[in-house]
Structure 1
């Protein structure tokens, strides 16, 4: 934010102590920076109006002290009562933007000696001017965040529109649009965008998705028999998964996870312990893994870790996808047995 005219010379007088007579500052540029960053200091619009009124009493070349009476300031603000004015001034003093230089009778004025020394009694705005760089930097950061939030929001809306074309009944779309009604932080926008990306990835991992038709979920089928009736697909989804979730099958199919240990994974206890070791390495928080284990069972949560690692580069954000299929919208659709079947068939046909 450029500092432009009009400017106020920062000096009580040419011979005042601790004054910088040679420098000038755009006091209204500083005011606008504080106005834009007021939320960081818990300032309300009424505080900003009071500060604006006080700044209007400063004159170029006459220093940074406000000599106007409380009555004059109240009138310039718009007729606020004096108690409100005092509260506002106290708040600026607490924040270090104003210092009081009180005279013995609480009047505001300036006195000079015969040799030119000057003493100013009033409300000094010198601290505000000295923090110009800080306030401008904060205002710029807020503006950058605002622009980034708009950019991320547009990306999310575009992806949601694409998801609606694929399946307008997807509950994720409804929840995402509901979240967008609120004023989100930059980190919340990024998380929502990651979740939207995860939806696309998870759709591509579904057994009936077109791009994954080369991985049929039925052991009795080959790549040449990719088509299945709706009845067969429903029967497959109703088939209990436990017979397919044997430790030997999981470790042989998901060899990427198994390659990260020199110990043999003989049972589900070994697999669960290894999954807990792999999760942080993949960006999955240990607490998220334990929550998933409590929600869907430790076997299913461990399978999720092994399967996601096996998919490798097809998964952009392991943490987001793990949360979605174990704790999020895709929890009920996550079928480790079917995915392991597809991976096993894909491995056979690739050799």
Structure 2
């Protein structure tokens, strides 16, 4: 493009300062400057969020580049392409001509191409006697050469931002998994603390993240999640130190020599529960004095435990808070009196309704209530309802769980937490 030559658009199209700036920059193009047209196009596709162009506009630019005969853009080969809208439509996968004109205007406003209109607004080229193009009217691709370095820099910024966002997502996912599993462990082990409140706060942090979050939103949520993880870890470490300190005398007493050679007390390992059962139900040898001491400690902890934490109802199974049960099994609410469950009485009434709906015999449910306790039996019925599509016989499944509970091989905690995670309680992604 000749220096000082300004081209105004044809017809009613207005001239803007942006067009003038693009033409001024293109007029400073050096004769030896060149760029691979497809390389700069790939950089444009990467940098489109910062350039303000759409996919459809880039499709039209792709069609324009296809009319340039060489792979390398240079002033030596000419930089003006002059296809008709009909030909552009064919190379833009049948895009309507009106749509093509709109996206051409977007490319011009973004400073990626320059209009070089003829006196009558048509696109054509005049050729010299030797056959080479003397003057052409259409669209100049000179801005792609002039802005090549800027486009590559913007593409690098977009790639770096995408990588930063990906790393933040990974860190948040790992931290979220840690918090969920630590809270689950604390609730299953029946450790002292308001773990239900901690879990509610954890869910609030996860739910505040939108489907397509920005890096700042994820970074803010990550800091809060790390703080929560540190608080939970410190709490668990404190409880672990307390347990280890109180267990030292017991460890010393277990080294007392057993004078009975026929006893298998020291030879058989402690009974271990099956996979999925609560690890608290492990039988270990204790002396009489130690057993009395630990029984007293359990009584003290039961008296000091908050009302909303998991508890043992006397059946050998821990009873979990109603709020947690309804969060894991929300389908149960529809069967409560008046379509709601406000307390355990409503929960047990809903369990009776569900029992009949799932064809569970009254004797099977009564046996479960006697073995597990009425609250735990209602909780198990809610879990069976929630997993109804995966259970062939609800009555047979309930009897099997009852038999396992009698042997100390069944715990409700893992079942509840599995349903919570299945509903997005512990594994939901960010974005």
Match of 1:160 among 176, 179, 183: 176
Distance 1:41 1:230, change over 3 A: farther
SS in 1 for 2:77: coil
Alpha-carbon distance, 1:102 to partner: 0.8
Which residue does the alignment assign to 2:203?
A: 174
Contact 1:34/1:135 (8 A) holds in 2? yes
Alpha-carbon distance, 1:35 to partner: 1.2
Which residue does the alignment assign to 1:315?
A: none
Distance 1:163 1:207, change over 3 A: closer
Render the CA deviation track for 1:282-305: whole Å, top value 9, x for unaligned: xxxxxxxxxxxxxxxxxxxxxxxx
Which residue does the alignment assign to 1:191?
A: 220
Whole-Å separation in 2 of the counterparts to 1:177 and 1:51: 41
Whole-Å separation in 2 of the counterparts to 1:200 and 1:212: 18
Contact 2:125/2:133 (8 A) holds in 1? no
Alpha-carbon distance, 1:113 to partner: 7.7
Q: How does 1:165-314 map to 2 (within 5 A)?
A: 165-168=181-184, 170-179=199-208, 182-203=211-232, 209-210=238-239, 229-232=301-304, 234=306
Match of 1:87 among 102, 108, 133: 102
Match of 2:39 among 29, 38, 54: 29
SS in 1 for 2:230: helix
- Greater mean alpha carbon deviation, residues 174-183 or residues 162-171: 174-183
Which residue does the alignment assign to 2:81?
A: 66
Which residue does the alignment assign to 2:48?
A: 38
Render the CA deviation track for 1:108-141: whole Å, top value 9, x for unaligned: 2334789x99543211121132111111111111
Distance 1:212 1:183, change over 3 A: farther
Does 1:102 find its partner at 2:156?
Answer: no
Give unpaired runs (5+ residues) of structure 1. Answer: 1-16, 214-225, 236-351
Distance 1:208 1:32, change over 3 A: closer
Distance 1:162 1:200, change over 3 A: same
Contact 1:205/1:212 (8 A) holds in 2? no
Contact 1:66/1:123 (8 A) holds in 2? yes
SS in 2 for 1:229: helix
Whole-Å separation in 1 of the counterparts to 2:170 and 2:147: 35
Structure number, greater radius of gyration: 2
Alpha-carbon distance, 1:206 to partner: 5.8
Whole-Å separation in 1 of the counterparts to 2:66 and 2:170: 41
Which residue does the alignment assign to 1:261?
A: none
Render the CA deviation track for 1:152-172: whole Å, top value 9, x for unaligned: 212221122211222135124
Give unpaired runs (5+ residues) of structure 2. Answer: 1-26, 71-75, 185-195, 243-296, 308-431
Whole-Å separation in 2 of the counterparts to 1:212 and 1:139: 52
Whole-Å separation in 2 of the counterparts to 1:140 and 1:94: 23
Whole-Å separation in 2 of the counterparts to 1:211 and 1:145: 41
> How many pairs align?
208
Contact 1:203/1:209 (8 A) holds in 2? no
Whole-Å separation in 2 of the counterparts to 1:71 and 1:146: 38
Which residue does the alignment assign to 1:285?
A: none
Render the CA deviation track for 1:259-291: whole Å, top value 9, x for unaligned: xxxxxxxxxxxxxxxxxxxxxxxxxxxxxxxxx
SS in 2 for 1:105: coil
Distance 1:128 1:70, change over 3 A: same
Match of 1:53 among 63, 66, 73: 63
Render the CA deviation track for 1:18-65: whole Å, top value 9, x for unaligned: 653323201111111111222233332211111110111012263221
Q: How does 1:105-144 map to 2 (within 5 A)?
A: 105-111=120-126, 118-144=134-160
Whole-Å separation in 1 of the counterparts to 2:172 and 2:85: 51
Distance 1:19 1:117, change over 3 A: farther
SS in 2 for 1:96: coil
